[in-house]
Amino acid sequence: MSRFWSQVVNDLTPYVPGEQPKIANLIKLNTNENPYPPSPRALAAIQAELGDDAARLRLYPDPNADLLKNAIARTHAVTARQVFVGNSSDEVLAHVFMALLKHEQPILFPDITYSFYPVYCGLYGIAYQTVPLADDFSINPADYTGRPNGGIIFPNPNAPTGRLLPLAAIEQILVANPDSVVVVDEAYIDFGGKSAISLVDRYDNLLVTHTLSKSRSLAGLRVGFAIGHPTLIEALERVKNSFNSYPLDRLAIVGAVAAMEDSAWFEECCTKVIATRDTLSAELGELGFEVLPSAANFIFARHPQHDAAELAKSLRERSIIVRHFKLPRIDQFLRISIGTDAECQALTTALREILG
Ligand X SMILES: *Cc1c(COP(=O)(O)O)cnc(C)c1O
Told to check if 224 binds ligand X by CB under 6 A, we report: yes
Q: Which stretch binds ligand X (CB under 6 A): 61-69, 85-93, 100-108, 225-233?
A: 85-93
118 CA to centre of own chain: 15
CA distance 114 to 280: 23
Minimum CB separation from ligand X for residue 197, in Å? 16
At 303 the three-state DSSP class reads strand
For the residues of 246-273, what is the DSSP string, one character each? --S-HHHHHHHHHHHH-HHHHHHHHHHH
Q: For residue 226, what are the β-bridge partners? A: 84, 209
Main-chain phi, psi angles of 67, to 5 degrees: -55, -45
Minimum CB separation from ligand X for residue 118, in Å? 13
Told to check if 260 binds ligand X by CB under 6 A, we report: no
Minimum CB separation from ligand X for residue 169, in Å? 18
CA distance 93 to 71: 21
**What is the amino acid identity at position 290?**
E
List 33, 90, 190, 262, residue binding ligand X (CB under 6 A): 90
Told to check if 39 binds ligand X by CB under 6 A, we report: no
Size of the site for ligand X (CB under 6 A): 13
CB 252 within 8 A of CB 221: yes
Told to check if 128 binds ligand X by CB under 6 A, we report: no
Q: Which one, of 317, 308, 325, 320, lies nearest residue 348 by Cα?
A: 320
Minimum CB separation from ligand X for residue 89, in Å? 3
List 73, 98, 159, 301, residue binding ligand X (CB under 6 A): 159
Q: 120 or 289, CB closer to ligand X?
A: 120
CB atoms within 10 A of CB 221: 22
Inter-axis angle of helices 89-100 and 116-124, to 10 degrees? 50
List 38, 110, 155, 339, residue binding ligand X (CB under 6 A): 155
Fill in the per-residue mask, 179 to 218: x = in contact with ligand X (CB under 6 A), - = not in contact. ------x-x-----------------------x-x-----
Binding site for ligand X (CB under 6 A): 32, 88-90, 114, 155, 159, 185, 187, 211, 213, 219, 224
